[in-house]
Structure 1
Amino acid sequence: MSSTKRLNRAYKNARKIAFDDKSKFVIFSDCHRGDNSFADDFANNRNIYFHALNYYYREGFEYCELGDGDELWENINFESIFEAHKNVYQLLRQFHLQNRLHMVWGNHDMVYRDQKYVEKHLSSYFEPIDGEDKSLFVGITYHEALVLQHKDTGQELFCTHGHQADWWNYNFWKVGRFLVRILWKPLQVVGIADPTSPAKNYKELIRIEKRIKKWILNNQLKLTIVGHTHRPRFPEPGQIPFFNDGSCVHPRSITGIEIVNGEISLIKWHISTKPDGTLQIVRVLLEGPEQLKAYHNL
């Protein structure tokens, strides 16, 4: 199956979410939450991420995570990841309880396309303090894609992980998972990168982006937001509307996309130093805001 057919299928089966100019969304991907070991890339940014997530929760945002939220190639099960980042999942649970959590699976958490797996591992967790199971993400469903559809204009924002344009990581993700667990995870400690990852393979990254842009051109310039390559992308109005939210495993920073007041922006959260030497986590606007209607092409 070609990348075009995979993207078409993802779009056809996407969960549709209605929104208007009063709606607020934050879109992150590629958190790669791990077990807090030396190979857990998320651990370096977990305080930044948790602070940002708290901000979006307080401000009434809906949270969209476009795949690779949990690192289930390096780690065998969700339980070890949950224990390492329990505060994050408890906050995500609050989004879920208010129907403000929208989850997409990527190649590193592709097991979540199996609803039985999700129900078995994410519905509850064991609390050793009380010695009993407690509810977590009861009734949650992961999707291959989301389509945010504007109530007034009908404009659609197609949101998916983006590995549909990556032949190896979509079709042979189990082989990739095996290689990462057995070979590349141990080699990370000495600085050898996984060559199958488009985030660390520039030529493959460019090829993936070209395939997605081609799909956009063949689908009436539909505004598309992806992750997977970890490279933030924010086009100007009039260019191909191909957006990438980046990742949450950049060195000392995380990037994402906000949709507020009918506008779209690329943002970064990072640690900054005050004049007195103390540290603070700050939000920086990288690109935008631009009116969504500037990219509208029915």
Structure 2
Amino acid sequence: MRNLCDIRLDKSFRTAPVLALTPHSRIVLISDCHRGVGNSNDNFLKNQHLYFAALQSYYKLGFTYIELGDGDELWENRSLTAIREIHSNVFWLLSLFASEGRLYQLYGNHDHVLKGSSEMPHLEGLILKVCDFGTQAPCLEFYLTHGHQADMLNSTLWRLSRFLVRYLWKPLEQMGVLDPTSAARNYKRRSQSEKRLSHWAIHHNCYLITGHTHRPALGNNTTHYFNTGSCVHPRCITCLEIENGAITLVKWSMETRPDNSLYVARTPLAGPLPLLELGSTPP
């Protein structure tokens, strides 16, 4: 019998577009930027320079940018216009990706209202298809979504959660109190969400790439589950790169040279893992 998480995830991919990858495809997967309005609640603010440096690098190298939800913090804030004004450099660079057909944006629980946006269309799911054209092996499918579907409070009841965050936890956060309902900040909720997501992927004989929990993970053919991490870690941002037919978990951080000058560093955390070596496991 299917549980509610499975039903919600099935629905996410019912009409999801399919993006076929080639050996030359370059993809960067980023999620949970939580871009805000520049105040003390703007968790993106501390890493904005890291993010912009990473984004510039990916643009110059010809990567396609895929944002897996919660790009903009629209639970604490009502106005996307205010967010775009504060982080205008980011949206300018995203517009360059879009103008070249290299931008895909998904929505999460914190930016669910962008689902029906005519100006900035956001998807609920996207499927990456990887085929080995030199053999008769079946193609692998990587299902991309935010991951909030694993948690009823952040999916079905997202309006209630938004109300609580906007009028209760946002003021308390300014006093140092963390939101206990957040999967990113509550270990038990995070672990439960990750187990449900992994179970769904194994059952459907595919690989699932999400954000939401903010805990980065490079999956394998046992878990079938990958996670991009987030852009609101204390001292870094994390993401997943697909290049040369392999996937790598990467962090971008500020580092210090021996002469005490600062620079933005890209550091692989895990991988590269060849996609076609993952194979498929019978459900």
TM-score by length of 2: 0.94
> Which moved further from structure 2: 267-276 or 186-195?
186-195
- 1:254 corresponds in structure 2 to 237
In 1, Cα distance between equivalents of 2:188 and 2:221: 26
> Residue 289 of structure 1 corresponds to which residue in structure 2?
272
Give 1:183 deviation, angstroms: 1.1
Superposition deviation, residue 141 in structure 1: 2.2
Match of 2:210 in 1: 226
What are the within-5 Å matches in structure 2 for residues 40-189 of structure 1? 40-114=42-116, 118-119=117-118, 123=119, 140-151=120-131, 152=133, 154-189=139-174
Q: Gaps spanning 5+ residues in structure 1: where? A: 124-139
| Unmatched tracts of structure 2, length 5 or more | none
Structure 2 distance, partners of 1:164, 1:54, is 31
The AA in structure 1 aligned to 2:225 is: F
Shift of residue 232, structure 1, vs aligned partner:
0.7
Partner of 1:134: none
CA contact (8 A) 1:3 1:164 kept: yes
For 1:110 and 1:243, how far apart are their aligned partners in 2?
22
- Opposite residue 102 of structure 2, the aligned amino acid is R
**Which of 267, 270, 273 is matched with 2:253 structurally?**
270
Aligned length, in residue pairs: 274
Equivalent residue letter for 1:149: K
One-letter amino acid of the structure 2 residue matched with residue 213 of structure 1: S
What is the CA–CA distance in structure 1 between the aligned matches of 2:254 and 2:72, rounded to whole Å? 23
Deviation of 1:247 (Å)? 0.2
Contact preservation (8 Å) 1:245, 1:256? yes
Q: Does 1:37 align with 2:30?
A: no
- Give the Cα–Cα distance (whole angstroms) in 2 for the partners of residues 18 and 254 of structure 1: 27
Q: Percent of aligned positions with the same letter in both sequences?
A: 44
> TM-score, normalised to structure 1's length?
0.89
Match for residue 24 of structure 1? 26
Letter in 2 for 1:69: G
Measured against aligned partners, the alpha-carbon deviations of 1:230-254 in whole angstroms (never above 9, x if no partner) come to: 001113x442221001000000210
